[in-house]
């Protein structure tokens, strides 16, 4: 995976001050790293690897728990001297925004998220965390405490040379719109909810 840092700047947020770094893959995907401290190389730090969810993160959809996880992660990092949030360009578990909306329509007819993705010709989860590993390596981070409920994310990062020394659970509230989504994550994808 070829990844190049394109820009960085100061980014004050509702959750504290960060330095934001923009990275671009050869294929054109753009990823961000919000970094809470500036010294390098880093020892083990708390990290959230978050896949883009325009409908949840930006449009505040209640169909998922993405925005809740993002905000919980930022609140957690706000209390730490050092930490990082990596925001990956892989919408809809890697199937893209338009296909995610197509999957929503199938879910409206009774399918769960995995059944909808498979019906559209995709795997249950096409996300790849090699870009996150490359970003961590850019900052010379080898050991992390990962904010996640997803065991696949842990395995994938470790496959790419990042050691996850601790898993920090992200507990979010269930609502009537995301109940089936969360149950599918727990039962079929083995998320640690």
Of 63, 127, 128, 143, which one is the catalytic site residue?
A: 127
Phi, psi of 14, deg, nearest 5: -65, -15
75 is annotated as an active-site residue: no
Spatial separation of the C-alpha atoms in residues 169 and 164, rounded to whole Å: 13
Residue among 100, 93, 90, 99 nearest 189 (CA) = 93
Q: How many CB atoms lie within 10 A of CB 191?
A: 17
Residue among 84, 74, 89 nearest 34 (CA) = 84
Residue 88 exposed, middle or buried by CB count within 10 Å (0-12, 13-18, 19+):
buried
- How many alpha carbons lie under 13 Å from residue 44 in its C-beta half-sphere? 10
Q: Locate 89 and state its tokens.
A: 């360009």
Of 57, 65, 68, 125, which one is the catalytic site residue?
A: 125
127 is annotated as an active-site residue: yes
Q: Locate 159 and state its tokens.
A: 């496959």
Residue among 81, 17, 67 nearest 170 (CA) = 67
| β 163-168/143-147 pair status | parallel
Active-site residue set: 125, 127
């Amino acid at each position: 995976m070829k990844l190049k840092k394109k820009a960085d700047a100061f980014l004050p947020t509702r959750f504290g001050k960060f330095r934001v770094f923009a990275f671009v893959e050869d294929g054109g995907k753009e990823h961000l790293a919000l970094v809470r401290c500036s010294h390098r190389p880093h020892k083990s730090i708390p990290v959230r690897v978050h896949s883009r969810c325009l409908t949840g993160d930006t449009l505040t959809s209640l169909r998922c728990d993405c925005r809740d996880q993002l905000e919980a992660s930022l609140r957690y990092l706000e209390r730490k001297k050092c930490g990082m949030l990596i925001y990956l360009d892989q919408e809809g578990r890697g199937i893209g925004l338009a296909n995610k909306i197509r999957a929503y329509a199938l879910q409206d007819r009774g399918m769960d998220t995995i059944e909808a993705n498979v019906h559209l010709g995709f795997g249950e989860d096409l996300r790849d965390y090699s870009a996150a590993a490359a970003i961590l390596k850019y900052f010379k981070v080898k050991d992390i405490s990962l904010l996640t409920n997803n065991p696949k994310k842990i395995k994938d990062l470790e496959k790419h040379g990042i050691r996850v020394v601790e898993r920090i659970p992200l507990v979010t509230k269930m609502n009537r719109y995301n109940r089936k989504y969360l149950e599918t994550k727990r039962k079929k994808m083995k998320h640690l909810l």
